[in-house]
Amino acid sequence: MSLAAILGVLTIISLRGIEDVHFIYPVVIVSHFLMPPRQSLLLNILAILGIIALLSAVVAPFHLAKIAISILACSSFAFASLGNQQNRRLPTLSTRD
């Protein structure tokens, strides 16, 4: 499902351009809840590379770097948030046995 969402966003970006690059942010966050962390991170990195490939002809390198860094930061925030949630549950789960 996450893969389909990211491919959908990449299709939208290829058709409409940079105006719709902001659709990737909710997809990045949701992918962390639908997939294992490593797969989600790999998929998000591939999405960033896809966006760079699609927009490199029409956007300056500085702006591409800003977009890539902000998507990666969003991905890192979602990953850390999920990790913190698991760490909060760990003490209760470890004493329940």
- Name the amino acid, one letter, at 95: T
For residues 54 and 10, the answer to whether their CB atoms sit within 8 Å is yes
What are the backbone angles phi and psi of residue 89, rounded to the nearest 5°?
-80, -20
pLDDT single digits (tens) 45-91: 888 888 888 888 888 999 888 988 888 888 777 666 666 666 677 77
> Which residue in this structure is represented by tokens 């209760």?
92
pTM of the predicted protein model: 0.69
For residues 27 and 5, the answer to whether their CB atoms sit within 8 Å is yes
